[in-house]
Every structure is written in C-alpha cells, then in structure tokens.
C-alpha cells in the first residue's frame, strides 16, 4: 500500500482524466502512474482496516438536478460536469458488475436527480442484468415520479427514497426553488400503490421545517412508509450549514415524543440502515432519525460512493477520491484492475466521525452533495 500511496493513487486533488498511460503503467490522475503489476485481480470481499465489510454501492448517475435545495446547493450558481466526463450507462453497468463480483449486494442509484437522465429505464435493465442478485434502490426528489412507480416496480427496484423536506407547498418552493410539491405528493401515493417500499427523507432545518414535524408524524401514522429526518450535515464547500439551521436529533425526538407514542422498532437494524426507527402506536408506518452529526454510525458503515464522473469516495466526510473513469476508459485495463483498485480503496475507508471532529463545524468535504449523491 505504501508504494501505491507514494505513486499518488491516494491523492485528494483531482485533475482531468488521461485516457492512456505509457505501456505497463496505469494513470489514476493527479500525475499518478502506477505499474500495472501492482494492480492485480482480486475476488475478495471488501473489508477495511476497521473490520468493516463493504456491501453497498451508491452510484450517482448524474450531477444534474431539477431542484435547487437550499441545503444542497445553497442557491449558488451550478456548473454541471461536461457530458463527456459523465460515465456512460455501459460504464456504470460495468462498474456495477465488478462491484457485484466483490460481494456488493445493494446498489442505490442517486444523483443529482437520477430520473432526469435520459434513458434511465434502459439503464436500469442493464444495471439489473449486470448484478442479478443485488438489491437495487433509488433516491429521488420525486418531482418526475408520477406515472413511473409501476414501471420502477416492474424493473426490479426494491425500494425508493423520496426527499421531501416539508408538507407545505409554499415552504417547498422556499426550500427547493420549485413548485413541485403536488407532483411529489402524488408520486408518493403512486409508489405505495405500486407496492414499492417507500422512505421519505427530510433534512431537519431549525427554523425552516420545524413546524412540519406534526405533519410528518401524521403521514407516518397514516401511510405504510418510513419518514426519516436527517440531521443537516456541513457538506460542500459552499454549504449553507450553520449552528442556527442545525436541528439536532435529540431535540427532534423530545418534540416527537410529545406528539405521538413512539415505540422503538426492534427490526431497525436489518432494514433501516443508519436510521433509528420508531413505530407510531396504532399507525401504519414508522418515524426515524438519522443522527449524522450527533450520533455517528461509522462503525456500521458499509458503503462506497461513486460520483457520476467515476470518482470513488469511501467516506461522505472525506474528499479523497479514486478516479475510476480513466481505468474504465482504458482498453488495456480489465475488470481485474478495477476490482483491485476498489479493494485497495475500501481497505483504507476512514472513520468519517474523526474527520468531522477534526474539521469542527466547517464543511467536512468540499464537493457538493448533488455531485456526491447523498
């Protein structure tokens, strides 16, 4: 590993991907040329130095989004990636196939907004064929969801996370910059009708959507879905994060307990990921909290992220990237090379909470969430 570190594979700064390198060398960007002999095949399960096993890939299939959420882009100008840098569907499917060969069994398609990318359903078929045993999930803002739920179900999507930060149309426009509330709400109903497992994700914003808590709890009481409030994280160089906007999970729970009888859900470990979940007495769904800042879940983190231009990130709170696009686009390099690089990167997966503490309240990573994929 030391040699690879010296060769620059682990550098944080990134530059233009070079498609080719001198014979016998592999170019991973930032001037890093490593001998091909160092990148040999592996078929191992992905484990890291903290005894964690990586099983979950979150793949951003576009950095483009049809919303401008205040916590994600801070209302700043957005310059999308050049089209040629965005991984083609064939490249994404190859990555999924390689990940599956490393025992990754859960793949989440995210973005940007994944449903804005043309040919999404053709890609979904390719992705499923590339990893027939994997469970595929989708994260969407739901604006384009109406009319698609049955097709998503038929295409083998096992669950859908829908971002919805408020139940008030006016507030929705204020947070997202768009009038999409009615469409999202319709999309949620259709997704439930289609039999999809639905989770609603809301970023908890003090002074912005505090008044939505009773509505969220009522939604989870009435409908068979999970509503999860996510602590606002200082992600992105221009993040709007501030102490004033941060609404911590302890305060949310205290308020929620006044609004409903919450019963801790014993099954949460199997299906809720990092969320702490509660059943609502007499209700159909569940309420949950994702304590991204106040109670980290690094010990159980089993995920990798790949940006839409093929940068592998092993921790949400680290800007360290492993550039896979140059490998995918180099005809001399095989799936074995990709496997080995993913295994090496996974081995060095950091503990994000340490990084978070080191940065204190400042942004923990420079890249925007819309580019990373959440």
* Shortest spacing between CB 178 and ligand SAM, in angstroms: 12
- Which listed range, 8-16, 78-86, 229-237, 257-265, lies at the site for ligand SAM (CB under 6 A)? 229-237
Q: Report in angstroms the alpha-carbon separations of 232 from 27, 101, 141, 204, 274.
A: 37, 34, 17, 6, 15
Nearer to ligand SAM, 28 or 219 (CB): 219
The correct pick among 48, 57, 131, 140 for binding ligand SAM (CB under 6 A) is 140
- CA nearest to 248, candidates 231, 262, 227: 231
CB 209 within 8 A of CB 168: no
What is the per-residue burial (b if ≥16 Cβ within 10 Å, else e) of 12-37? eebeebeeebeeeebbbbeebebeee
Binders of ligand SAM: how many residues, by CB under 6 A? 20
* Shortest spacing between CB 247 and ligand SAM, in angstroms: 11
Q: What is the DSSP letter of 39?
A: S
Is 325 a binding residue for ligand SAM by CB under 6 A? The answer is no
The correct pick among 181, 232, 247, 322 for binding ligand SAM (CB under 6 A) is 232
Site string for ligand SAM, 154-173 (x = CB under 6 A): ---------x----------
Tokens describing residue 329: 């686009």
Is 212 a binding residue for ligand SAM by CB under 6 A? The answer is no
* Shortest spacing between CB 235 and ligand SAM, in angstroms: 5
Is 308 a binding residue for ligand SAM by CB under 6 A? The answer is no
Helix (H) / strand (E) element for 347: namely helix 335-347
CB neighbourhood size of 51 (10 A): 7
Binding site for ligand SAM (CB under 6 A): 65, 71-72, 110-111, 113, 139-141, 163, 201, 203, 230, 232-233, 235, 369-370, 373-374
């Amino acid at each position: 590993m030391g040699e690879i570190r010296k060769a620059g594979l682990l550098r944080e700064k990134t530059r233009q991907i070079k498609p080719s390198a001198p014979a016998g060398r592999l170019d991973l960007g930032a001037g890093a040329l490593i001998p091909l002999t160092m990148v040999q095949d592996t078929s191992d399960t992905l484990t890291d130095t903290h005894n964690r096993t990586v099983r979950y890939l979150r793949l951003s299939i576009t950095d483009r989004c049809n919303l401008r959420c205040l916590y994600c882009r801070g209302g700043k100008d957005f310059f999308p990636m050049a089209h040629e840098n965005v991984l083609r569907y064939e490249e994404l499917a190859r990555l999924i196939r390689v990940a599956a060969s490393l025992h990754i069994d859960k793949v989440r398609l995210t973005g940007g907004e994944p449903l804005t990318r043309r040919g999404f359903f053709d890609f979904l078929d390719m992705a499923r064929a590339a990893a027939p045993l994997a469970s595929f999930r989708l994260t969407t803002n739901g604006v384009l969801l109406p009319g698609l739920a049955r097709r998503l179900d038929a295409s083998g999507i096992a669950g859908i996370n829908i971002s919805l930060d408020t139940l008030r149309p006016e507030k929705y426009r204020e947070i997202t910059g768009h009038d999409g509330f009615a469409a999202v709400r319709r999309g949620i109903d259709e997704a439930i009708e289609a039999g999809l497992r639905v989770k609603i994700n809301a970023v908890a914003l003090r002074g912005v959507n505090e008044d939505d808590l009773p509505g969220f709890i009522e939604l989870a009481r009435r409908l068979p879905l999970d509503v999860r409030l996510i602590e606002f994280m200082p992600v992105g160089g221009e993040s709007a994060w501030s102490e004033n906007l941060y609404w911590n999970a302890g305060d949310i729970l205290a308020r929620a307990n006044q609004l409903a009888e919450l019963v801790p859900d014993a099954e949460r470990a199997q299906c809720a990921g990092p969320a702490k979940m509660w059943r609502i007495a007499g209700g159909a769904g569940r309420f949950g909290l994702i304590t991204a800042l106040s109670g980290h879940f690094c010990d159980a983190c089993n995920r990798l992220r790949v940006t839409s231009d093929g940068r592998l990130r092993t921790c949400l709170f680290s800007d360290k990237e492993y550039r896979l696009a140059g490998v995918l686009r180099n005809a001399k390099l095989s799936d074995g090379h990709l496997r080995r690089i993913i295994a090496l990167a996974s081995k060095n997966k950091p503990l994000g909470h340490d990084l978070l503490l080191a940065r204190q309240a400042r942004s923990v990573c420079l890249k925007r969430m819309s580019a990373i994929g959440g």
